[in-house]
A = this chain, B = another copy of it.
Amino acid sequence: MVSSVDVAKLAGVSQATVSRVLNNPEKVNAPTLEKVKAAIQQLNYRPNAAARSLISRKSGIIALFCGQLDEPDNAEFANKAVMNAQQKGYTVEIHIQNPDKPESVFDAILDTQAEGIMMGPLIIKGTAVEYLKTSGIPYIFCGSGGGQEGITVGMDNHAAGKLAAEYISSLEPETVGWLGGDPSDLRLQERYQGFVEAMKESGVRIVKVTGDLEDIELPFTAMMAQKQRPDVIVAATDSFGIFALDFLYDYGYAVPEDVAVLGIGNSRQSAMNYLSLSSIGLPDDMDMVAEAFDRLSAMIENNGQGSRGSADVNPVVYERRTTKTY
């Protein structure tokens, strides 16, 4: 590894001068500047980030935690988050949750040298919040429903469930099927809670199936095999909604005539013409991630002292062809 000392030797100056060339070029004479720059070029010198951050106490790193990127929602989120961070000059360290051992990803919180932590859409366990608190690093939840535990920016999941219930009431269903995800996912719990609470009044029958996307086929098949099968399906996320669409297509159902389907999340995919999945989501003009990022970087700059408090956004209905015939 070539260090600034090597550069100094070659240029015939002191190491301090090399450092100056790098950080305060205006404070060094033109001729020396050239000499040093030449030496840097020649040796292909690159300052050591570790040494730098050792002294500056700044890593320039943001840690991003999120769920698997093969879920389009998560990918879309991660993309926005990374682009935002890059644009602000941060480097992003990404940590993806393994569904088989969801806790293990949080160990990274203990080791990371990041200046800020962005908790994206993933399954939050208690340890996570605990680790976050003790880490002393500014953090923010965005779309993960960290809930009361910290700063949150995201869709109000409870309201989303409620809105789903209100909307499908207009469809006058006899039996409603809830197609959920991992039951330990707080976001989905909240959605379901809001949903049942709002449904309670109507007295409509609710059947529920939960599980990972990979393991949902069997229980869902069982749900559809019942005599009183649902004529409206509310999916905890758009991915499950798409799964349902796929399934219904395969089994010969007409959507929405036989069974209507409503997703939650309003992912980009759901809006595509060939899918046209009705969904509950954030208003179009809202960029949650950017909002969260602004808050996070403010916290970093203010030395961890940010405006605590959550900023949950009320969702709206995107009515498409899986709930309505035109």
Check A229 for interface membership: any CB of B closer than 8 A.
no
Looking at A30-38, A69-77, A183-191, the stretch in contact with chain B turns out to be A69-77
Looking at A7-15, A50-58, A158-166, the stretch in contact with chain B turns out to be A50-58
**Contact B46–A50 (Cβ < 8 Å):** no
**Contact A69–B69 (Cβ < 8 Å):** yes
Bound form: Cα–Cα A44–B109 in Å: 13
| Chain B nearest CB, measured from A236 CB (Å) | 19
Listed residue (A50, A53, A76, A93) with the most chain B CB atoms within 10 angstroms of its CB:
A50
| Chain B nearest CB, measured from A112 CB (Å) | 8
Q: Which residues of A contact B (CB under 8 A)?
A: 1, 44, 46, 48-51, 53-54, 57, 59, 61, 64, 68-70, 72, 75-76, 78-79, 82-83, 86, 91-96, 98, 105, 108, 110-113, 134-136, 242, 245-246, 249-250, 268-269, 272-275
Nearest 8 pairs of A and B residues by beta carbon:
A75-B75, A69-B79, A50-B54, A69-B75, A49-B113, A50-B53, A94-B94, A50-B50
10 contacts between A and B (CB under 8 A): A46-B135, A48-B113, A49-B111, A49-B113, A54-B54, A69-B75, A70-B76, A91-B95, A274-B274, A274-B275
